[in-house]
Structures are given as C-alpha cells and as structure tokens.
A and B are shown apart, each in its own frame.
Chain A
Amino acid sequence: DVKVTQSSRYLVKRTGEKVFLECVQDMDHENMFWYRQDPGLGLRLIYFSYDVKMKEKGDIPEGYSVSREKKERFSLILESASTNQTSMYLCASSLRAPGNEKLFFGSGTQLSVL
C-alpha cells in the first residue's frame, strides 16, 4: 500500500516563527500536493509539484513556500507563521499517468499558531 507520512501529528508554534512541515511518500509518485483543511471551507490547495525541484502555486499560496529536493519528499514552509495559518495541513501524492491520478493522503498535521 502507498504510504504518505507527515512528520508531525500536532504542532504548536508562536506567531512569527518559521515552520517546516515535512511529507514523505514511498511509492515513487511524481506528483505531490499540500492542502489545508478548514471547517466550512473544505480542502484548499496551497502548492503542488510535478517533479523534483518543480513547484506550482495552488489556490492559496500566500504566506507559504515549498521545497522538493528529492522525489519522495515535499516540504511546506511557513516563513513567518500567523494565527490565520492555524489549520489541518494534508499532504498527498499521486501518479502522473492518466487514469491513475487518485490522491493518497497522509494523516495530517494539526497546526496551531498562538
């Protein structure tokens, strides 16, 4: 089975801190994604990556950056955390091949910014 592992289940940070959320997948998937999930707003795409060192902005990239130095690892960076970035963060991966685009999700990181 595909496994997508997020480094932290719960994280508490202070306003202004630099925050790193790590995600690793073990199935050689080309695509990786970062979503945030908020009540009433659903899952919203922050950034995604089609390949190593490639990144594309999603729908809500402001305040975030990403890094993909290796195929299996995709990191989300909050340069200066703010309270409105308190959310559940979900990483996902998928194959690029048509007909195999279903996403496999990690368990999520619940981030609280105080």
Chain B
Amino acid sequence: EDQVTQSPEALRLQEGESSSLNCSYTVSGLRGLFWYRQDPGKGPEFLFTLYSAGEEKEKERLKATLTKKESFLHITAPKPEDSATYLCAVQDRGFQKLVFGTGTRLLVSP
C-alpha cells in the first residue's frame, strides 16, 4: 500500500529564515511525486511534479528535490505570503489516483 508521511506537522519561521519540509514515501513503483499548496478554505493548488531521483524543480522561493525515498521542499528567504499548508502526494505506476500526506502547516511571521 502506498504511504506518504510529511514532517514537521507545523513549522513557524521568521521572514527570511530558510528551511525545508520533508515528504517520505513508500510506493511500489513511483510514477510521480506532486507538491501542492493549500490556503485556508481553498482547494490545493499545484506546485511541482517530480518523476525521478535527482530531479529538481524551482518556482520563486520554492525548490523541490527528489530521492528514492523522500522529497524535500526547500523554502529560501520566505515571506508571509508563503504561509499555507504544503501537501505532498505520490502516484503509483498504473494508477491515476494520487495518495496524499497530511501536510505541513507553514506560518511565516514578518
């Protein structure tokens, strides 16, 4: 059974204080690993897809990396508007569905 574990559950940063979020996964054959951002009261919004170990993708202050067992979402010099819940999900080969982790709630204080 596919499993996704995210840590920490919650993270509080000062503006400009860089950090990383972790997503550990167990899957029989990885088709893709997805990162989403979710603001309160809204649906998740797509950020990145990673397909193979060693792959990296960047968007503004966010950088996602992938190994065979985990993915990291690095946040460089965060701003208050980066405050949100960040969700990780995996897709197994042969399936269309995504399995989600429970997310990391990020709060960036000015």
**Interface, chain A (partner B; CB < 8 A):** 4, 31, 33, 35, 40-45, 48, 50, 58, 90, 92, 94, 96, 101-108
Q: Are A41 and B102 in contact (CB under 8 A)?
A: yes
Instruction: Name the interface residues of B4-51: CB closer than 8 Å to any CB of A.
Output: 31-32, 34, 36, 41-46, 49
> Of all chain A residues, which has the CB nearest B45?
A105
Chain B interfacial residues counted at CB < 8 A: 22
Q: Looking at the assembled complex, report how far the CB atom of A27 sits from the nearest CB atom of chain B, in whole angstroms.
A: 13
A-B contact count (CB 8 A): 53
**Interface, chain B (partner A; CB < 8 A):** 31-32, 34, 36, 41-46, 49, 87, 89, 91, 96-103
Main secondary structure of the interface of A (DSSP, over half): strand
Q: Looking at the assembled complex, report how far the CB atom of A110 sits from the nearest CB atom of chain B, in whole angstroms.
A: 8
